[in-house]
A and B are shown apart, each in its own frame.
Chain A
Amino acid sequence: MRRVVVTGVGALTPMGGDAASLVEALNRGFSGVRPLDTPWIQSLASPLAAPVTVPVETRFPKLRRLMLDRVAQLSLLATQEAITQSGLDFKSDAGLDCGIFWGTGMGGATTLEHAYIESLLNHAARPRPSTIVMFMTNSSTGQIGIEHKIRGPSFTYSSACSSSAVAIGEAFTAIRSERIRYAVAGGGEALLTQGVMKAWESLQTLARPDPEHPETSCRPFDKHRSGFILGEGAAALVLEEEASARARGANILAELVGYGNSTDAGHITQPDVGGQSRAMRQALTQAGLQPGQIQHINAHGTGTMVGDVIETQAIKSVFGDWARQIPISATKALHGHLMGATGAVEMVVALGVLRTRIVPPTAHLLHPDPECDLDYVPEGAREIPALDVVMSNSFGFGGNNAVLIARRYQP
């Protein structure tokens, strides 16, 4: 089996325009949650979301963005950052040996909603001819290939909130099993549209806005939590076979060592201790690690009443007494829930923890829930010397669970 290393990361999130600003903003407790500045927001019970606020559309020539939904634009920008950092040029033969593994929950939600409004409400003669190629879920995947001339296999994963964690895990598996040498893996999501937000609101999973401090409305593991805040963004990793990275003198950021994936097979929305535990155990087994070697977990931690309790129980069932020793962060409190992109975003955060040895806080956790009684780092960012192994959990509607483990690279 080949070893798999990370040589590039990129992220465009509500916290900022690159991966470094995401990690830095989390550690200082900056919240990307704010009222959306759009006229239709009045039709929603809560105006809160976590939008990307740096310029996006203007970074593409007009002719190029004619075929790019916002999700593809976010995906391309995050990917560009990761590939630039890796130093790889896939226009060369390396592009033949590189795969694209991309996750998204909804694909081009903005394009689809616009087409529906034009066709069904405004009775336009027809939607734009590029509607299909902009909203199809593999649009970002294809555009990443076009932009960078990546010509190996490509896959698009859509498993709700675990989509991009699955993408990274499957890319890891493909390199590990010698199918390809390089991979661009991650995911994007841009679903802050009126119809999609109203549908989420109807599902009763969105956080109640705090009247005085709306930016603190998402409170994972807090007794008074009420759900999550929808966010948008994208994150990408460049994964590479270790020997290849070393041979070209690449800056190796971390090593991916474990991936677990399981299906609850119980309920379409209710999470399951058994399913989550199986994914964590699989990842540990593949990594050849004992539970006591995990030093940090980026929790799925959405801030729903049920979800946070189930994840706490699952962590306890896997880690036993060690569970109380692990600093666990639920960073969705600050960057929002980026749905199909969130697994990749949180993996970028976990890799930032490896780099800095600083664990970000679970923000807004002021009133601990007795049923959520682990160390969620509520006090603020915490420095942890000799932190070398991290886990990131992503659990999706539909019952898919994806868990990734990375460690500090040692030749």
Chain B
Amino acid sequence: MSSLPVIQKMLVEEFGLTPEQVHPESRLEELGVDSLATVEFMFMLEDKFKLKMMGEPVPIKTVGDIAREVDIMVAQQGVTLGDGGSPP
């Protein structure tokens, strides 16, 4: 199961973005989420879901990129994201 709905919900809750803004192809820079804010967000995900980012950081440009990165971590680490709520 894709982590995308969970990530979209968190972007809305933590960064004050609207559900309409957080489509998979939405570019983070255009949403005002710069590289530092992206790292903040990845660390929030780590803390919330007890994930561990491994290896070299990969380029993250879009909302969908975050989901793909998290999906890989989830698969490797056998973590469950839990109830992320309804997709926006």
Contacts and interface: CB of A to CB of B under 8 A. Distances in A.
Interface of A: 61-63, 66-67, 125-126, 128-130, 133
A31 to B, nearest CB: 36
Given A63-B32, A63-B33, A129 B40 contact: yes
Interface of B: 14-17, 32-33, 36-37, 39-40, 43, 46
Contact of A129 (B17, B32, B43): B43
B36 A62 contact: no
B16 A63 contact: yes
A129 B42 CA distance: 10
Given A67-B37, A129-B43, 4 more contacts: A63-B16, A67-B36, A128-B43, A130-B40
Main secondary structure of the interface of A (DSSP, over half): loop
B16 A61 contact: yes
Contact of B17 (A63, A67, A125): A63
Given A67-B36, A130-B36, A62 B43 contact: no
Nearest to A124: B47
Main secondary structure of the interface of B (DSSP, over half): helix
Contacts of A130: 36, 40
B39 A129 contact: yes
Contacts of B37: 63, 66-67
A221 B46 CA distance: 55
Contact of B40 (A61, A66, A125): A66
A222 B39 CA distance: 53
**Among all A-B residue pairs, the 5 with the closest Cβ atoms:** A62-B16, A63-B15, A129-B39, A61-B16, A63-B32
B15 A66 contact: yes
A62 B14 contact: yes
Nearest to B42: A129
Contacts of B46: 125
Contacts of A129: 36, 39-40, 43
B39 A62 contact: no
B43 A126 contact: yes
